[in-house]
Amino acid sequence: MPATLTKQEIDSKTDPSVSKQYDTDVSFEESLKDFYSISDGLKIGILGTFRPGVGPVGRAMAVAKRSGPDFLFLANGHSQKFTDLEKVKDVNVSFHNSTTQDWISVTGEAVTTSNDDPRIKEVYSKATSAWFGDLGDGVHTGGPEDPRMRLIEIRAKYISYWKHNTNPLGFMKEIGVATLTGGVAVTGLLRELKEAEISKAREQDGSLSKSKSEL
């Protein structure tokens, strides 16, 4: 049922519809498990970089691999996203499930590596070549050895995500009742993972070898 508000809360310094939104009772283990479960079901994310003189710029990217709380993408080193990342390393990756309304937002630092990074072969799949093409020169083949093939690793610093706990009918009912009663709709669980928790998750769940070099 929708959360109810009291006059005392309305008079408080923090809007209760905001201050009560995070699920703080969940254990670290359960929160991490749910984060992994949601993220592994969402293969396309919007990678947002910051472009000086323009502002935030986003583009859809297929996840090559999730390693603990971090995400790896394969990308063409000639693309403008690398120019963005040379200037500003801070990035955001967001995911959304339009069926359940689950979403994830990952804020972190992007680490880009040269083509000799051994992890490229670990995360490469043949389908990746479709986005590069084979130029027919025996070098730019669209394979893992293609010098254009670069790795972008998003090392998370802050994660927030929303997990639904109602079906579509319950979702609409919750909103309808809240609208009629003046309550605040509660259709899911909003959680956050902070830097200390993310570091712990990276240590226990990271699944890839280390990079050889970083740009």
Which pLDDT does position 18 carry in this prediction?
A: 66
Is 62 part of a structural domain of the chain? yes
Would the pLDDT of 13 be above 60?
no
What sections of 116-215 are H helices per DSSP? Answer: 119-123, 168-181, 195-205
Is 113 part of a structural domain of the chain? yes
Q: What is the CATH number of the domain that holds 122?
A: 2.30.110.10
Would the pLDDT of 54 be above 60?
yes
Its domain, for residue 109, covers 28-164+195-205
Report the chain's mean pLDDT, rounded to a whole number.
87
Is 151 part of a structural domain of the chain? yes
Is 169 part of a structural domain of the chain? no
Per the DSSP assignment, residues forming a β-bridge with 161 are 104, 191
- pTM score, whole prediction: 0.83
Amino acid at the residue 98: S
Structural domain count, the chain:
1
Note the pLDDT tens digit of each residue in 139-160. Answer: 999 999 999 999 999 999 999 9
Q: Which of 19, 213, 2 has the alpha carbon at shortest distance from 116?
A: 213
Residue 154, CA atoms < 13 Å, CB-side half-sphere = 31
Which pLDDT does position 155 carry in this prediction?
A: 97
Is 19 part of a structural domain of the chain? no
Is 97 part of a structural domain of the chain? yes
